[in-house]
Amino acid sequence: MQFNSAKQNFANAASFAHRLLDLPELSTEKHADLKGKALKVLQKSEREGRNEFTIDYDERNPFRYYRFLNKFVVLIVLLLLVSIVIG
């Protein structure tokens, strides 16, 4: 969220801020600082309303952490196979 705002991808930053503010955990006192940052980014992003760069992100889809995990698992398997062949 803050990275996109700093890089002037305001529409994407607003999308991330909305998703963050929708989380129920953000209403707790523990996350008041994060909620304040998200609101600040959201206000600035809605004023600017543009993206400087295009990123491969679709706000209608859930976040997918498993893409990185799958690549990591494939790398580990390849390293194990190479060590078996060499060793």
Dist CA 87 CA 80 (whole Å): 10
Domain residue ranges in the chain? 2-86
pTM of whole model > 0.85? no
What pLDDT score was predicted for residue 66?
54
Least Cα distance to 43 among 86, 5, 82, 84 occurs for: 5
| Per-residue pLDDT tens listing for the chain (87 residues) | 566 666 677 887 888 888 888 888 878 888 888 888 888 888 888 888 777 777 666 667 665 555 555 666 777 778 888 888 886
